[in-house]
């Protein structure tokens, strides 16, 4: 199992919207590296849901429920299906992530423009421990 983070502006599609929908196709990714990350996602992989721009915090845990398929908004690209699992007890802010040396190398810190990014198991667990 791999671990991931996806970013979304909550004014466009929030964690609450995601929970209300029960699942969503993760569409609209138009960066080649992020597209390749989507291709690597496997059913059952755990995914952090991060509110970008407003809030700038990890707010919940999701799971991949359908592996890569043509993005219905533009079939030249890739989408995956995600379902919400649970909110974090305490959101983990970008400020806290940047202050944690164990997370210094994650894409969110090094290359924050990606909307889909991998995490190591240790990075995933570190963020989880910060949310308690």
Residue boundaries of the structural domains of the chain: 3-130
**Integer Cα distance of 108 and 87 in angstroms:** 19
- Interval 47-100: pLDDT, tens: 999 999 999 999 999 999 999 999 999 999 999 999 999 999 999 999 999 999
- What's the confidence (pLDDT) of residue 3? 98
- What's the confidence (pLDDT) of residue 49? 98
User: Which of 15, 87, 24 lies closest to 51 in space, CA to CA?
Assistant: 15
Handedness of CA 93, 95, 98, 102 (dihedral sign): negative
CB 78 within 8 A of CB 48: no
Architecture of the domain whose range is 3-130: Roll (3.10)
Of the pLDDT bands very low, low, confident and very high (cuts 50, 70, 90), residue 27 is very high
pTM for this one?
A: 0.97
In the chain, the percentage of residues whose pLDDT exceeds 90 is 98
User: Which of 78, 48, 74 lies closest to 63 in space, CA to CA?
Assistant: 48
- What's the confidence (pLDDT) of residue 84? 98
Give the containing element (helix H, strand E) for 47. strand 46-51
Of the pLDDT bands very low, low, confident and very high (cuts 50, 70, 90), residue 121 is very high
- What's the confidence (pLDDT) of residue 26? 97
**Integer Cα distance of 3 and 40 in angstroms:** 10
* Pairing of the two strands 46-51 and 3-8: parallel
């Amino acid at each position: 199992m791999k671990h991931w983070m996806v970013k979304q502006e909550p004014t466009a599609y929030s964690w609450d919207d995601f929970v209300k929908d029960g699942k969503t196709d993760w569409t609209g990714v138009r960066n080649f590296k992020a597209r390749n990350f989507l291709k690597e996602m496997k059913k059952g992989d755990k995914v952090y849901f991060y509110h970008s721009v407003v809030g700038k915090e990890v707010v919940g845990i999701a799971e991949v429920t359908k592996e890569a398929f043509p993005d219905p908004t533009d079939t030249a690209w890739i989408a995956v299906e995600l379902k919400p699992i649970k909110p974090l007890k305490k959101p983990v802010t970008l400020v806290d992530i940047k202050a944690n040396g164990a997370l210094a190398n994650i894409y969110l810190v090094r290359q924050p423009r990606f909307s889909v990014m991998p995490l190591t198991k240790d990075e995933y667990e570190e963020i989880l421990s910060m949310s308690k």
